[in-house]
Structure 1
Amino acid sequence: MLTASLAACVASERDSAAGGEGGTLIFGAAGAPALFDPFYASDGETFRVTRQMMEGLVDYKPGTAEIQPELATNWDSSEDGTTWTFQLRKGVRFHDGTAFNAEAVCANFERWYNQTGAGRNSALSYYWIETFGGFAGDDKPSLYESCETTGEFTAVLNLTRPTSKFPDALGLDSFSMQSPTAMKKYRANDVKAQGTSFVYSEYAKKHPTGTGPFEFVSYDEGNGTITLARNEDYWGEKAKLSRLIFKIIPDENVRKQELLAGSIDGYDFPNPADLKSLREAGFNVQIRDPFNIMYLGITQKNNPALQDLRVRKALAYAVDRKNLVQANLPEGAEVATQFYPDTVDGYAEDVQKYPYDPQKAKQLLAEAGRSDLTLEFFWPTQVTRPYMPDPRGIFNAIAGDLRAVGITVKPVSKPWNGGYLDDVNNARADLFLLGWTGDYNSPDNFIGTFFGNTENQFYTGASPWGAELARQLQAADQEPDAAEREAMYADINRKLMSQYLPAVPLSHSPPAIVTSKKVQGLVTSPLTAEEFASVSIAE
């Protein structure tokens, strides 16, 4: 529960709201952010907070995964796709009063590219490494070459090669523009490794400074509340709320109880089993369009049997995905036939399908000489993901299907942030449950992220085709002609499902978000990237 003083403050602000504007929204967050510097973040709970305070050169149109101008008003590229010129919005200031201009843009890019020490760790600079590759002076090639100012409000980004990711990737929260003045004053780059974790800067913990409609007030770790206030000097339409509070409530059932009690005004990823009762109780349940994938991961490192395509295909035929979707996922979920939804370019309708066929699975296992197969199957605890609302139930359903075709399943369960992700990312699991919510509308953001290098969670380097798949993905990403690029990705999808099958795509799931009937103006995002500036509280 909120402290008495905070609750009284909230009640006072709500009572003073007029005409549906002003007041405070309290949102139940599923986890605590480690910091408030989005460049060093890769988790949704951090981005949920920072995207209210910070903006990028581009943004995503409300309710879609398509880009629109934000701090850049327009842009164009050279014919070869390696030089991008951005015209910037005038009259914008960071929360500390620093002017936003081309120098600020280049200062941010140079900060990212010139990371040193712990800042180069993939656990910190995840999205830089996934999007741009290497840093200044290291051996790994970088997509980034340089940033130039050709006018006060004109910034030119030079790339080392063309990429399908531009300019869409610049809408990622990690690439939000932050005040060069505040980052220097509070030593934003002062991050150090400490055992398996990190110690962050004063900037990242107490002084995040963007240009957005809300600005940082405080983080009360004792009470688990993060408070933001309306930016009264915002360049665009000001936020309707005067305050926005995120209350950290890790347990989904507790979030539901606090909503029912009126202690919070909304929360994300309600249990699909609760949607009907929440609607009947008068709450507003909004279902996002599915823009994600859940898959049964297969690691080829530990068990030689999994390097056999016949065994991987047997796993695909063994899983009753239709029943899995109907029994364990929310209304509107769909069986996946490939590794991204049909709204993304390069989706191929004619990929090889794997309908539920336990006899076919047994036959393939016998042909491979693996009728007595034993596999360690990892599944996560203490987590709810947009694509995986009930990990235990999903694990039990799949494990039952595998046992039915003669596979011995050894369950391994670990907390999501207590060993599970570490084991999966280091290829220690035979089978595992994981997924992905798209960051932007690009094939590279899905299959390029999964299979674009051979040192991945699937350990595709163990197969003779792993390096070739990585080369195919790189070639498609670098193809400047959109029609040819789409055809290349469609061909890759066909090969992924017939010749490679490094994992088994399971489902696309439409995650829900629930709010009190007093909450108005919330526009849901298929990227689960809601912005709260449009929200008001009706009394």
Structure 2
Amino acid sequence: MRHARSGPRRAPRALRRVLTAGIALATAASLAGCAESQRGAGGGEGGTLTFGAAGAPDLFDPFYASDGETFRVSRQIFEGLVGFKPGTAEVEPELATSWEETPDGKSWTFHLREGVKFHDGTEFNADAVCKNFERWYHQTGAGQNNALAYYWVENFGGFADGKEPSLYESCEAKDPATAVIHLTRATSKFPDALGLPSFSMQSPAAMEKYHADDVKAQGDSFVYPEYARSHPTGTGPFEFDSYDQSNGSIKLVRNEDYWREKTKLNELIFRIIPDETVRKQELESGSIDGYDLPNPADLESLRESGNNVQVRDPFNIMYLGITQKNNPALTDLRVRKALAYAVDQETLVEANLPEGAEPATQFYPKSVDGYADDVQDYPHDPAKAKQLLAEAGQQNLTVDFYWPTQVTRPYMPDPRGIFNALAEDLREAGIKVNPVSKPWNGGYIDDVDNAKADLFLLGWTGDYNTPDNFIGTFFGTTTNRFHTQGSPWGEQLAERLRAADSEPNEEKRNGMYSDINRDLMSEYLPAIPLSHSPPAIVTSPRVRGLVPSPLTAEEFASVSVSEQ
């Protein structure tokens, strides 16, 4: 039985957060076939599931990770105080059975499951919770690098050295089954952020034994300790077995002492296959049992071959980013609005994105609190775009438009096609486009972060269901990918976002976010929201019980593989 979360204020928010009825209907068949506990339905033999991964993880310690392929593996090994209800972005109890907060939102009491053990046989308890929080907070040296501590910095801010303010204050183990987390201010992130893989509970004994914090910078990369490479130790349904880098294979095995019912699978293997076409071929040959983000053009043929193609509810945003640092013309709101009028969203979505994609009116989906139904819209109007450019004295505007190669993203399945469509829209409005393409991990992200791109394609899949996780991540600091720090309103926007996140009254907070969304689209327009796209995941006919996640955060403990 799942326990409802505690607290007089949080439950109504959870009810409003449930994603659309469509996803409930879409997953009903899968849910009906599973036992009450989706993640651990049934015991017994269930063979081996081999999943095609698009990339190799650098490490297996989720605190130091920020990439989807590392998280895909770590979600099977680790668990957090909270998790997400299968098929939704709704928070539910995991290693905590319930929780409550103080009226000021600054202290959170978590009541913990008893009898849970880490894979090394040590007890999960309040002391372990506090040791994990203190480990994160007391990072030093390379451990504070944004590339490693990305999710801590984004969600909690600074560290114990006090160089930057931190959301975290302290952790108190009141008794073995009760942990109290003290914060420096209220935040809309709690408790949702604790469902992120980076904040999973890890065995303090294993981390000490294998020197988990002994990470070192080496040039532009990092050297990871033995713990992160070979001994990740959580409480989840699967245990880490091995990583054979010679053949790109990661092997997990069933946790025989799991606190829920054991997974049916004996083994879960991730095979690293970077090329999407090869992943499809491997699925068709029976060498793998599934893979993520199949090309939208392949969905029909995959279905015709008898495979199970599940399309997730869209919980993402793709946007046309605008850098205001190097091109003075782009600091003029009239020019940014001209770009918005130039874009033909409807045609872009219809021609270049999968079925079920929707044009975006603002920077997050309707299912997120604070969504505003009355934001300014920008219908496709090249004449209006030309008029605004003329008013700004920018009839001969030229932009460096960057787009990524060697990548597909849940929100951006076809970067080349999307770029071509948008570039043609801009040219129709009289804007000269200088195209620049670079590999995603071969200069594209670096150039965007270093303000070399005037315009760029990027997006976001929500980590959890709060406004701060979307627009707070995008615009909540003055050092962001849009480089708004030079604008007269950049810090004002960042301060408004901090104030909204810190507001403990839910109704007032949602109103603050609605106001920000309206101003983002009318007064600021730091980027142009384009679309919400439903990414797919495909498995062979042998696979049963996989519940697709709108967070692209699937867990495989509910899965079984039949013999054919």
TM-score (norm 2): 0.92
Q: List aligned pairs for 1:111-510, cutoff 5 A.
A: 111-510=135-534
Q: Which residue of 2 aligns with 1:82?
A: 106
Q: For residue 259 of structure 1, what is the amino acid of its counterpart?
A: L
Alpha-carbon distance in 2 for matches of 1:427, 1:155: 43
**Alpha-carbon contact 1:165-1:442 (below 8 Å) kept:** yes
Q: For 1:300 and 1:353, how far apart are their aligned partners in 2?
A: 21
Is the 2:43–2:264 contact (alpha carbons within 8 Å) kept by the matching residues of 1?
Answer: no
Secondary structure of 1:435 counterpart? strand
In structure 2, distance between residues paired with 1:417 and 1:40: 18
Instruction: Work out the CA distance in 2 between the residues paired with 1:400 and 1:531.
Output: 41
1:145, 1:160 within 8 Å by CA — same for their partners in 2?
yes
Give me the whole-angstrom Cα distance separating, in 2, the residues matched to 1:474 and 1:88. 30
In the alignment, which residue of structure 2 is the partner of 1:14? none
Please say which of residues 507-516 and 132-141 is displaced more in the overlay.
Answer: 132-141
Whether 2:61 is the aligned partner of 1:34: answer no
Match in the other structure for 2:23: none
Corresponding letter in the other structure for 1:219: Y
The alpha-carbon deviation at position 139 of structure 1 amounts to 2.0
- Residue 320 of structure 1: CA displacement? 0.8
Residues paired across the two proteins, number: 522
**C-alpha distance in structure 1 between counterparts of 2:202 and 2:451, whole Å:** 35
C-alpha separation between the residues in 1 aligned to 2:442 and 2:249?
23
Q: CA deviation at 1:421?
A: 1.2
Q: CA contact under 8 A between 1:105 and 1:177: conserved in structure 2?
A: yes
Aligned-pair CA distance for 1:20? 8.7
Counterpart contact for 1:21–1:537, Cα < 8 Å: no
Aligned-pair identity in percent equals: 76
What is the alpha-carbon distance in structure 1 between the residues aligned to residue 433 and residue 371 of structure 2?
Answer: 33
Higher mean C-alpha displacement, 316-325 vs 336-345: 316-325
Displacement of 1:19: 10
CA contact (8 A) 1:58 1:69 kept: yes
In the alignment, which residue of structure 1 is the partner of 2:87?
A: 63
Cα deviation, residue 395, structure 1? 0.8
Q: How far is the alpha carbon of 1:415 from its aligned partner?
A: 1.0
Cα separation, 1, equivalents of 2:226 and 2:441: 24
2:448 and 2:307 mapped to 1: Cα distance?
Answer: 37
SS state at 1:244 partner: strand
Aligned partner of 1:524: which letter?
A: P
1:242 CA drift (Å): 0.5
Q: CA offsets, 1:390-445, max 9 Å, x none?
A: 11111111111111111111111111111111111222211100000000000000
Q: Tell me by how many angstroms 1:21 deviates.
A: 4.0
Q: Contact 1:427–1:456 (CA<8 Å) still a contact in 2? A: no
Equivalent residue of 2:111, what SS? strand
Which residue of the partner structure matches residue 517 of structure 1? 541
| Structure 2: runs of 5 or more not aligned | 1-41
Q: Deviations over 1:81-109 (max 9, x none)?
A: 10101111000110011110001000000
Cα 1:20–1:255 shift into 2, 3 Å: farther
Q: Distance in 2 between matches of 1:413 and 1:296?
A: 15
- The residue identity in structure 1 corresponding to 2:166 is S
Does residue 1:94 correspond to 2:118, yes or no? yes
- Cα distance in 2 for residues equivalent to 1:199 and 1:424: 26
Secondary structure of the equivalent of 1:139?
coil
Moved more, 398-407 or 57-66: 398-407
Asked whether the equivalents of residues 27 and 265 of structure 1 are also in contact (C-alpha less than 8 Å), the reply is yes
The residue type paired with residue 181 of structure 1 is: A
Give 1:138 deviation, angstroms.
2.8
Q: Is the 8 A contact 2:43 2:262 kept in 1?
A: no
Q: Secondary structure at the match of 1:403?
A: helix
Q: In 2, Cα distance between the equivalents of 1:492 and 1:41?
A: 31
Cα distance in 2 between the residues matched to 1:157 and 1:314? 47
C-alpha distance after superposition, 1:125-184 (max 9, x if no partner):
000000000000132110000001100111110000000000011001100000001111
Contact kept? 1:318, 1:401, Cα under 8 Å: yes
User: In 1, Cα distance between the equivalents of 2:97 and 2:170?
Assistant: 21
Per the alignment, in what secondary structure is the counterpart of residue 160 of structure 2? Answer: coil
Q: Give the structure 2 partner of residue 3 of structure 1.
A: none
Unaligned runs of 5+ in 1: 1-17
Question: C-alpha separation between the residues in 2 aligned to 1:117 and 1:177?
Answer: 22
2:362 partner amino acid? Q
Q: Any conservation in 1 of the 2:327–2:454 contact (CA below 8 Å)?
A: yes
Structure 1 residue 463: Cα displacement: 1.0
- The question of whether the paired residues in 1 share the 8 Å contact of 2:117 and 2:123 is answered with yes
Give the distance between the partners of 1:171 and 1:412, measured in 2 at CA.
Answer: 37
